Structures are given as C-alpha cells and as structure tokens.
Structure 1
Amino acid sequence: MTATPRRRTGCRLADLTWPEAADLIGDGLPILLPVGAAAKAHGPHLPLGTDRLVAEAVAERLLAQLPLLIAPTIGAGYYPAFVDYPGSQHVGAATFQALVTELAESYLRHGAERIVILNNGVSTAAPLQLAAHDILHRHGIRIVIANLPALGHSCDGLWEAEPGGHADEKETSLLLAIAPALVRLGRLADTVPPAAEEEDAAPLHLRRPVRLTPEERPGGSLSRSGATGDATRATAQKGEKLLAAIIADIVADLRRLWPDL
C-alpha cells in the first residue's frame, strides 16, 4: 500500500522554536524574506510603515497557498529619495546589500536551499539584485526576487488616475484593502500636486537620480505632499483585486520553478 504524501505546511519563522525551524528548513521549505520600509514617507495620507504592511500582507496570503517559511521583515533599506521627510529612514546601498546578503547566508548555513526575496520597493531592487549575484557566485544558489511594484499587471485597466508611482491611487488602494483604519481619508486630496510641481509633459528618455523634497532645494524634485500621484480614486475593492493579481503572479512563477510546492 502506497503511503499518502504528507502535506507540508508553512509558517512564520519567528513563531517557531529553533528545533522546529531546523526540521522545517530540513524539509526543504523555501524561505520567504520580505523587504519593506518600516519608516518611509508615503504622503500625508498613508503611514510611514506602508511598504512593510503591504509586504507582510502579501507574505501572509502566500502562506495560505504555499508551504513557505516567512522570515522576519527587513524594515531598513536603501531609500535615498525620501530622506528629507521627517520620520523616514535610509541606509546606504552597500550597507543594505551587505545586510541582505548576510541574512540570506545565515539561512543557507542552516540548510536552506531555496530563498525568495519579497521586495516592496523600487530603489531597493538594484542592491537586491547585486546581493543575489553575490550569493550565486559564493554558494551556487539562485535567489529568487519578487519585485511587488512590477507585478499585478492584469489590473492595469483598473486605474483611473495617471500612475504616480508612490502613494498614488494604486498604493493607496492596497492600504485601503489591508489596513483601512490607517489611511487618512481626509488628506487624499492633498496628494494632487499643484501645477507648479508637475513634471514636464515630455519626460526625458535618460535616467537621473530622484530625491523628493517637501520644500525647494538644489537638486531636489519638489513634492510638498511626499506623494507622486493622485490618490483620490483609490478604493479597497481595487486594492483587493491588485493583491489577488500579485499573489497569482507569484504563486504561478514559484510553482513553475519548484513544482513540489
């Protein structure tokens, strides 16, 4: 009689004892490492911890579908565009890269062979890619990176306002779905930039570093609100659809990479 395979169940690493963690890592469960700013300006209407909240919400929903071990979130990161806004925190690219590399290597030492970085950031993407290359060359392990801002394109038709990229309709919809009590609804209109703050209608094809500032200063891109988009069209329903699309993208790709999940 053939034994029925045991269904593996994931969990949060921080909830385990070390012997329990050793058993599950030894079973080959992938480590999911969320990266999301614990303190970064998101306009006058969203909390500083928006990136962390979204990354952890996505991690929890992935846990409901896949046998993963959710590592503690990395809340400190490379966020140079927001250093002028009170409460925002930022570390240099090399420091951030080293932090992620050493944390990932600690899981490899404990026997992990599959690591997924769940990145809820834009400026963090390049240092994370470098960290992944370092780990590949040192250990022969290919780290998987899921960049949340680049996922969920099946929902592109939902958005009514021009995409802003930060604390806009899209990101505000996510927060309304995840933590509506933390959204300052009375400040949504403050995210619409005055005409004087709007970028030139013909954007450059060349890339330049961006540093947003709440008041005019040399080299800065003025954004008095700390947002770069119109959040007034955001809804929880749009956020739920975007979350579902992001989860579907990640689940499909991870099952293609690792059919045993």
Structure 2
Amino acid sequence: MGKAKEILHMTRDEVAKAITSFPVAILPLGATEQHGHHLPLGTDIFLAEGISRKLSEKTGALLLPTLPFGYSWVWRDIPGTLSIQQHHVEAVIKDIAHSVSRYGIKLLVLVNGHDANNSSMKYAARELMDELDMSVIYLFYPNIESVIDMHCDSPTWHGMIHACEFETSLMLALKPELVQMDKAVSEYPKKPNLYGKSTISLGNLSQSGVYGNAILATKEKGEKMIDIFIENMTSLLFEAYERTKEE
C-alpha cells in the first residue's frame, strides 16, 4: 500500500503528473453535527476522510479535501452543528466535479460519511452525466447491512446508523484519541408513527443523540469493517475506471 496522494500536500506539477498516469480523484463528504456525548462533531468528516485516505493509498487516486458541511437540519439546534441546505451540497459537488474535469480527471469517486448526503450525491451524479465527459460514482459504506450483521453485536435503529456501535467502532479504529468511551450509551428511542412522514426529526427523539448501542463498540470491529469497505471500494473504483476507457 502506497502513500495517499493528498492534493493539499502536492505541487501543481505533482498533481499534473499523477493525473497523466491515473486520472481518478476521490472527494470525501462529511458533516459537522452532534454524535452523542462520546464522539466529536467531526465524526462524519473523520470517517469519510480516513476511509478515503486508505482508498487513495490502495489505488493511487488523488485525494481531494474533505467537504466538512452537509445537510444536518435534524440537529440544527444543538451547539456546534453546522448545516447547509441539501441543494447546496449538490451544487458544491457539481462545482468540484466541473473543476477537476477541466484538467483531465476522468473519474470522480464520492466517498460519503453522512447519510443525508446520499440524495445530493445521487442527483448531482445524474446531472453531471449530461454535463461532463467524466464519470461519477458515489459510495456510502458498500454492503453496509451485511457488514454490520457480520461484525456488530447490536441492531441498528430501524436501519439507521448514528453514534452507534458501527460509527463508534470505526472512530476507534481511525481516531481513537477523540472517542470518550466512558460516555458511550445505548439508546433506542421509540419511533413515532409519523416519523418519516412529517417534520418529526431525530433531534427530538433521542436524549443522548445516540441511535443504537455505542457501548459495544471496539477498535477491532472497526478495523475489520474498514478493511471490507476498502476492498469493496477498490473493486468498484477500478470497475468504474475501466468503464471510462471503454466509453
């Protein structure tokens, strides 16, 4: 595994040379929002960035700076949360895509750490297909359900991940110095009948900000899950890149 090609640490000549040999770039997408009392507000940033760095090391793709803001409306009243509108997330993705396409990137890989970014990624990719001669793929923990079933000991909250065993384990593997396990809790709030059909939000349901059982998280679980994600993402990246050469 080589060194990550982080463009912030490279000169213009180094970036140009890298694009000539492998015209692929990775854009990590995060958010700044509460993750309980045991995880930092930058959790989604750290996870997207950490996994993207490993993907860059594995593949040789360029690593772009991480987008630190997402659509975090549900946590908007909690101190520290920074939320931008969903269509702004989509617009930023598109602007970055147009930027990198101008100097030869043929494949942009979006690596997401924040669930609410998924819609923005999907619609940005669809619009970009009609605007650019560049492919875009968007990844959010590929095969997450089976990975959680295999390596986590607690169920998710109705399929959602937030400050739970899953995210806490990933943080213990990537940024253990920022995890306060003595404050980790287990909480599965009751799901109102109108949840998902009204403006009832996550911010009003959980007392701790945790949705799941963070107490059961371990570094070992996180490392095993990250290895699987990197393997899957590497395969998807190269498959998408091969398709660009056929088009």
Taking structure 1 as the reference length, the TM-score comes to 0.83
Once residues 43 and 142 of structure 2 are traced to their aligned partners in structure 1, the CA distance between those partners, rounded to angstroms, is 13
Matched, 1:183 2:185: no
Task: Give the CA RMSD over aligned residues.
Answer: 2.3
Structure 2 stretches lacking a partner, 5+ long: none
Once residues 177 and 211 of structure 1 are traced to their aligned partners in structure 2, the CA distance between those partners, rounded to angstroms, is 30
* Cα distance per residue 1:21-48 (max 9 Å; x no partner): 12222333300011011x2100111000
Q: Is the 8 A contact 2:33 2:81 kept in 1?
A: yes
Q: Is the 8 A contact 1:9 1:68 kept in 2?
A: no
Superposition pairs of residues 23-102 of structure 1, within 5 angstroms? 23-37=17-31, 39-102=32-95
1:192 is aligned, of 187, 199, 202, to: 187
User: Residue 19 of structure 1 aligns with which residue?
Assistant: 13
Q: Is the 8 A contact 1:36 1:74 kept in 2?
A: yes
2:168 is aligned, of 148, 167, 172, to: 172
Q: Go from structure 1 to structure 2 and tell me whether the alpha carbon gap of 1:125 and 1:182 turns closer, same or farther (over 3 Å shift).
A: same
Once residues 46 and 175 of structure 1 are traced to their aligned partners in structure 2, the CA distance between those partners, rounded to angstroms, is 8
Kindly tell me the number of residue pairs found equivalent between the two proteins: 239
Q: Go from structure 1 to structure 2 and tell me whether the alpha carbon gap of 1:254 and 1:90 turns closer, same or farther (over 3 Å shift).
A: same
Q: Is the 8 A contact 1:79 1:124 kept in 2?
A: no
Between structure 1 and structure 2, the one with the greater Rg is 1
Q: Is the 8 A contact 2:107 2:240 kept in 1?
A: no
Q: Go from structure 1 to structure 2 and tell me whether the alpha carbon gap of 1:99 and 1:210 turns closer, same or farther (over 3 Å shift).
A: farther
Q: CA deviation at 1:63?
A: 2.2
Once residues 152 and 34 of structure 1 are traced to their aligned partners in structure 2, the CA distance between those partners, rounded to angstroms, is 21
* Cα distance per residue 1:197-221 (max 9 Å; x no partner): 4226xx78975555222xxxxxxx3
Superposition pairs of residues 90-129 of structure 1, within 5 angstroms? 90-129=83-122
Matched, 1:244 2:227: yes
Describe the SS at the equivalent of 2:129.
helix
Q: Is the 8 A contact 1:152 1:246 kept in 2?
A: no
Matched, 1:227 2:210: yes
Q: Go from structure 1 to structure 2 and tell me whether the alpha carbon gap of 1:162 and 1:10 turns closer, same or farther (over 3 Å shift).
A: closer
Once residues 12 and 235 of structure 1 are traced to their aligned partners in structure 2, the CA distance between those partners, rounded to angstroms, is 28
Superposition pairs of residues 131-170 of structure 1, within 5 angstroms? 131-148=124-141, 150-151=143-144, 153-164=146-157, 165-170=161-166
Q: Go from structure 1 to structure 2 and tell me whether the alpha carbon gap of 1:46 and 1:173 turns closer, same or farther (over 3 Å shift).
A: same
Q: Go from structure 1 to structure 2 and tell me whether the alpha carbon gap of 1:222 and 1:204 turns closer, same or farther (over 3 Å shift).
A: closer
Q: Is the 8 A contact 2:5 2:62 kept in 1?
A: yes
The amino acid that maps onto 1:141 is M
The amino acid that maps onto 1:178 is L
Answer with 147-156 or 64-73: which moved more: 147-156
Answer with 139-148 or 117-126: which moved more: 139-148
Q: Go from structure 1 to structure 2 and tell me whether the alpha carbon gap of 1:27 and 1:10 turns closer, same or farther (over 3 Å shift).
A: farther
Greater helix proportion: 2
Q: Go from structure 1 to structure 2 and tell me whether the alpha carbon gap of 1:116 and 1:134 turns closer, same or farther (over 3 Å shift).
A: same
Taking structure 2 as the reference length, the TM-score comes to 0.88
Q: CA deviation at 1:233?
A: 0.8
The amino acid that maps onto 1:34 is P
The amino acid that maps onto 2:187 is V
The amino acid that maps onto 1:18 is R
